[in-house]
Amino acid sequence: MDTQQIKQRFGIIGSSPMLDRAINIAAQVALTDLSVLITGESGTGKEVMPQIIHQLGSRKHNKYIPVNCGAIPEGTIDSELFGHEKGAFTGAHEARKGYFEVADGGTIFLDEVGELPLSTQARLLRILETGEFIKVGSSKVQKTEVRIVAATNVKLAEAVKKGKFREDLFYRLNTVPIVLPSLRERKEDIHLLFRKFASDFASKYRMPTVQLLPDAIELLVKYHWPGNIRQLKNVAEQISVIESNREITATTLLNYLPKDVTAQNLPALYQGAENSDLSERDILYKVLFDLKDDVNELKKLVFGIMNSKKSNLTENDENDSLIKSIQHLYAKSTAEIEENTNPEVYKPKIISSEEAFDEHEDIEEESLSLADKEKEMILKSLQKHNNRRRKAAEELGISERTLYRKIKEYNINE
């Protein structure tokens, strides 16, 4: 049976190469009795893979039991999986068979296997290695011949490092790994899946099928879909039921995307970049180096103020507060760059006031106009506080009287 036939039989939609590879692996391993571990984000459809493995294998006429390990309380999961004897615990009024005994000769699908308690993991490892288990409250060893297919959306390798999952069990389950891609990794399938869901819901609710306009299709494909296929299906159903206009625009579609995640899950557009292939790291360095240029300008401004202070000691002492504010801003910005930028790429030098006076002569030709910068800072502060002089003066670190004198001096229109 080829990949396309398997898709038709199990209702799988999509043409992503990553999806096709997962299906091919499942079909090939179905003819063996090897343990399989299916990994992928929540909502990617991991439950379909064990059905393919079971139905295409030699156990297809025997039991297939799916078990959601995360939905069973820790106190009863051993009883559910392995069974218990009468009187084994309070409420055990009669003996009960567990899933491994019932599924003898068939397949058990352990979904969310990463949620199993460590004690249950030890019991599961014994079944994988010897096919033996013991019911809760019994001392009799029983045998079972069952195939185990497990799935998880947890990174088990990390859980092993944290001591939350047994390393030996991880390697026993991971004999054949199958990785299901997230929806954002198979963008070519997103619109196709939406159309299928919309058609299904139109038939279910007996109404015309909704159709996405080009801008809505673009938004649909670019959205991050943290809930994957499950979230996409949910959105398609909501739109099918609620919207009276069956032609859906991007504005309408936005109403069905979670408001708290829309901003970070929609693609960020970098306005100045002509190369759309820039990586996040490239953009980060671009931003940091732009910040470096701003700090260099601020550095020159500080030098200018220091030089002005040195040559005119009779200047109003309240300018000292303005100088200290600018120095503090410079030191803070420089520290942020040192913390976030690769020291091999850029490492700014923090200098003292005395060194600044000595070095000023070397950068004299690059110095900016102190008056222009001071006027610019006053204008920005006044605009920020809606021309409230008291607030602006407090932010600049000078008195309201000095601010009034500067406004007159620079002929600033409020």
Q: What is the pLDDT of residue 26?
A: 96
Q: Give the H or E element holding residue 68.
A: strand 64-68
Cβ proximity of 210 and 217 under 8 Å = no
Q: What is the pLDDT of residue 91?
A: 82
The count of other CB atoms within 10 Å of the CB of residue 259 is 8
Residues in contact with 350: Cβ distance below 8 Å, sequence separation at least 6, in sequence order: 331, 334
Instruction: Report the chain's terminal Cα–Cα distance, integer Å.
Output: 79
Q: Which residues of the chain have pLDDT under 50?
A: 261-264, 268-278, 313-315, 341-368
Q: Is the pTM of this model over 0.75?
A: no
For residue 157, the SS3 value is: helix
Q: What is the pLDDT of residue 21?
A: 96
Residue 184 burial by Cβ neighbours in a 10 Å radius (0-12, 13-18, 19+): middle
Residue 2 burial by Cβ neighbours in a 10 Å radius (0-12, 13-18, 19+): exposed
Cα-based torsion angle of the residue sequence 275, 277, 282, 284 in order, rounded to the nearest 10 degrees: 90
Q: Which residues pair with 133 in a beta bridge?
A: 142
Please write the tens of the pLDDT for every residue from 177-226: 999 999 999 999 999 999 999 999 999 999 999 999 999 999 999 999 99
C-alpha 190/C-alpha 209 separation (Å) is 17
Rounded to the nearest angstrom, the gap between the alpha carbon of residue 219 and the centroid of all alpha carbons in its chain is 18
Domain range summary for the chain, segments of one domain joined by +: 3-181, 184-265, 280-410
Report domain 184-265's class. mainly alpha
CATH level 3 topology of 3-181 = Rossmann fold (3.40.50)
Give long-range contacts, CB 8 A cutoff, 24+ apart: 320-329. Answer: 321/396, 321/397, 321/398, 322/374, 322/396, 322/397, 322/398, 324/397, 325/396, 325/397, 326/298, 326/301, 326/302, 327/302, 327/353, 329/298
For residue 72, the SS3 value is: coil
Indicate the DSSP class of residue 138.
-
C-alpha 217/C-alpha 237 separation (Å) is 16
Q: What is the pLDDT of residue 347?
A: 46
C-alpha neighbours within 13 Å on the C-beta side of residue 274: 0
Cα-based torsion angle of the residue sequence 260, 261, 263, 267 in order, rounded to the nearest 10 degrees: -170
Q: Which residues pair with 107 in a beta bridge?
A: 64, 147
C-alpha 413/C-alpha 396 separation (Å) is 18
